[in-house]
Structure 1
Amino acid sequence: MNIVVLVKQVPDTEGDRKLNPDDKTVDRAAVDPVINYIDEFAIEEGLLLKEKHGGEVTILTVGPERATESIRKALSMGADKAVHVSDEAIHGSDAVATAKVVAKALGSVEWDVAIAGSEATDARGSVLPALVAELLGAPQLTQARKVEIDGTTVTIERVTDTGYEKLEASTPAVISVVEKINDPRYPSFKGIMAAKSKPIEVKTLGDIGLDAAEVGLANSRTAVESFENAPPRQAGQVVKDEGDGGAKIAEFLASKKLI
């Protein structure tokens, strides 16, 4: 089985994330980069499927040269190889343009299932897996908390507001997973050392057959028009209870139109 895991490098959520005032895109140099948190669950699910069914796990990343750091971590967890699409023309791409890159890159490798995290912490759009599936004409199985494969049939338990529902599709299929699905493993020392020699194939837009005029900031369907920093939090109001504390709180809530 050929399993491809889509991995994104994002600014660390613990850092002071911000937008670049020059082009209004995420300032990725301002904060240390890490693997998108939920993508680690996707990597783990890919590894579990490999352990159960055999095959290979390929990491697919779209991003700048420094994304190699996150690729190596994914490889140290146990993935076999990686494809890194890196091209300056991709900078500023929105979800639709990025999905075009991912779909074209998937078309350049053999795959039975493509697994992604349900969302990225730098955008929280939760749309990329569905967009990629649409572009490829493949089934999409999103928000999975459990994945089972029997031959060419994939069955998932999809998280809903009221519980879960079972969905079934044939491979090749695009799957996105949620945090409830597993517990990602930590890279071992042996895995870290082995990752240094695992192959990473770097590809440009030309290598995957995509025209630069279809991606990038200027060719995206959405863009940030303006932004401003959030104002500092103001000090709260202290209510001293002198027998009328309840009334004061009610008055405050009424002034905020909360009651």
Structure 2
Amino acid sequence: MKLLVAVKRVVDYNVKVRVKSDHTAVETAGVKMSMNPFDEIAVEEAVRLKEKGIATEIIAVSLGVTQCQETIRTALAMGADRGILVETDVALEPLAVAKMLKAIAIKEGAELVLLGKQAIDDDMNATGQMLAALLGWPQGTFASKVEIADGTATVTREVDGGLETVALTMPAVITADLRLNEPRYASLPNIMKARKKTIDVMKPEDLGVDPAPRLSILSVNEPPVRKAGIKVADVAALIDKLRNEAKVI
């Protein structure tokens, strides 16, 4: 079984995000970038499926600027077999990403597509669902456990009321949640091996997809600074302020 894993290059989760001075976007110049943490979990799950003998090949796919090759190399060091970069300077939206992943999945003959449930930069949480709809494949989102046997993927999902288990007929799309696994650290030998693995580069036009944005960003601003709290002497003072100042009781 051939697996496709989508990996996105985002601002590292340890970095304090700053808004550009013109309020058009988040500042990325000179900022540490890394693989989206949820995508890292998806890569780890793909590698584990290969180690179990379920998967035969793992293809890491990234879409964006040339530097996205670094993100693919990280996936290759973790255990992916080869990479594909769809190179573009356009700010990609979930629908365009889903269309390109669909084209690649069909071209490669993938039987399973793994993605993070969302990216930590925009929190869209839409690409996996859109991809499943475009492919006409069943989807298991927010996966905290995945088992594959006899052409069926059994996915335990994290939902508001607890856990839900669904059975998906392959091929399928699965998005990884935080508790699916603990991603491994790439060893130095695997990092060296990753440099020799193949990364194919293509353009959106090669896949017949127009990546032009459909949304316009009007303004990007930091959230307002929260007001400092106050201390009260006793319960009576607290009730007085809630009643007469906050007017919530």
TM-aligned CA deviation for residue 163 of structure 1? 2.0
Divergent runs of 4+, >4 A: 19-23
Structure-1 residue corresponding to 2:58: 57
After TM superposition, the structure 1 stretch with the greater mean CA deviation from structure 2, 104-113 or 176-185, is 104-113
Map of 1:216-231 to 2, 5 A cutoff? 216-217=212-213, 220=214, 222-231=215-224
Q: Give yes or no for contact 2:25–2:220 (8 Å, CA) kept in 1.
A: no
2:4 partner SS = strand
Give 1:81's aligned residue.
82
SS at match of 1:164: strand
Partners of 1:24 and 1:107 in 2: CA distance = 36
The Cα of 1:43 is off from its aligned counterpart by 0.7
What is the CA-CA distance between 1:62 and the residue it aligns to?
Answer: 0.9
Residue in structure 1 matched with residue 196 of structure 2 by the alignment? 197
Secondary structure at the residue paired with 1:156? Answer: strand
Counterpart for residue 175 of structure 1: 174
Residue 141 of structure 1 is matched in structure 2 by: 140
* Structure 1 contact 59–82 (Cα < 8 Å) conserved: yes
Cα RMSD between the aligned structures? 2.0
Give the structure 1 partner of residue 120 of structure 2. Answer: 121
Quick one: which amino acid aligns to residue 236 of structure 2?
A
> Relative to structure 1, is the Cα distance of residues 85 and 237 closer, same or farther in structure 2, using a 3 angstrom cutoff?
same
Q: Which runs of 5+ in 2 are unaligned?
A: none
TM-score (norm 2): 0.91
Distance verdict in 2 for CA 1:13–1:250, change over 3 Å: farther
Name 1:246's counterpart in structure 2: 235
**Match of 1:119, SS?**
coil
- Give the Cα–Cα distance (whole angstroms) in 2 for the partners of residues 96 and 20 of structure 1: 25
- Are the counterparts in 2 of residues 145 and 158 from structure 1 also a CA contact under 8 Å? yes
* Count of aligned pairs between the two proteins: 247
Q: Distance between the aligned counterparts of 1:22 and 1:107, measured in 2?
A: 41
Deviations 1:78-119 (A, max 9, x none): 11111111123xx22322222222222323322110001111
Q: Percent of aligned pairs with the same residue?
A: 34
Q: Which AA in structure 1 matches 2:228?
A: A
Which amino acid is the alignment partner of residue 226 of structure 1?
A: S
The answer (yes or no) to whether the contact 2:8–2:35 under 8 Å persists in 1 is yes
Aligned-pair CA distance for 1:230:
3.0
